[in-house]
Amino acid sequence: MQLLCFTTYTSSGVSQEIEFPLHPETQSIDTVSKIVTELLNTISDCVKDLDGCKDGDILQALSMVMAIRSRMVDIEPETSHKLLMQFIEQHHQAVLDAKTQIASRA
């Protein structure tokens, strides 16, 4: 199984080393990585200027985008739903299993 190794950093000094399992038909790990990076950067840029933006608002907006995007692909709705649920479960578990480090302060 192909893995996308991805490291995240938060403003509070927490880093996570995540190994995301990829679908067997993944065409380009680099493309997937670039899209994930661009989406995370765009979200960070967008919410920094929004007063009162909560994490739940972000998650809700992302789920709406995933639902919309899943209907834009040329496959049956049941298939896209199944894939979407599979991806969410696998990738959420990868984040839970990630190696987390907290930066120390001297």
Q: What is the mean pLDDT of residues 56-76?
A: 95
What is the structure's pLDDT at 53?
87
- Whether residue 1 contacts residue 22, with contact meaning beta carbons closer than 8 Å, is answered with yes
Q: Is the pLDDT of residue 5 over 90?
A: yes
Partners of 102 in the beta sheet? 14
Q: What percent of the chain has pLDDT over 70?
A: 97
Q: Helix, strand or coil for residue 102?
A: strand
| Domain of 35, in residue numbers | 3-102
In total, the chain counts a number of residues equal to 106
The pTM score is 0.85
Number of domains in the chain: 1
Q: How far apart are CA 16 and CA 93, in angstroms?
A: 13
- Whether residue 63 contacts residue 40, with contact meaning beta carbons closer than 8 Å, is answered with no
pLDDT in tens, 22-65: 999 999 999 999 999 999 999 999 988 888 889 899 999 999 99
